[in-house]
Amino acid sequence: MLYPPMSKLLENVNSRYLMVNVIAHRARQLSIESEQFGEPLPEKPVTMAIQEIADGKLTASIKEKYLV
């Protein structure tokens, strides 16, 4: 079973495609920051990014202008 559940993640990011992009972007940021400061990460960057979405720290939505 996926934790956190997909339904909880979709509360903060309204599209699965957008969620994958947000997670990938944030994971890269975390990884780069970790290397720059020489600090090890407590978890994998992707796991940390997913948890940030689940906690509501990261949100994203598609502007209505682009919806067809």
Mean pLDDT across the chain, nearest whole number? 89
Mean pLDDT in residue range 35-62 = 93
Residue 33 falls within a domain, yes or no? Answer: yes
Provide long-range contacts, Cβ within 8 A and 24+ apart, for 5-8.
8/54
- In this predicted structure, the answer to whether residue 9 has a pLDDT above a threshold of 50 is yes
Residue 41 falls within a domain, yes or no? Answer: yes
Which of 58, 55, 51 has the alpha carbon at shortest distance from 13? Answer: 58
Between helix 16-37 and helix 45-54 the angle, nearest 10°, is: 130
Confidence of residue 3 (pLDDT cuts 50, 70, 90): confident
Confidence of residue 24 (pLDDT cuts 50, 70, 90): very high
Residue 1 falls within a domain, yes or no? Answer: no
The total number of structural domains in the chain stands at 1
Residue 19 sits in which domain range? Answer: 6-66
Residue 48 falls within a domain, yes or no? Answer: yes
What backbone phi and psi angles, to 5 degrees, belong to 35? -65, -40
Residue 26 falls within a domain, yes or no? Answer: yes
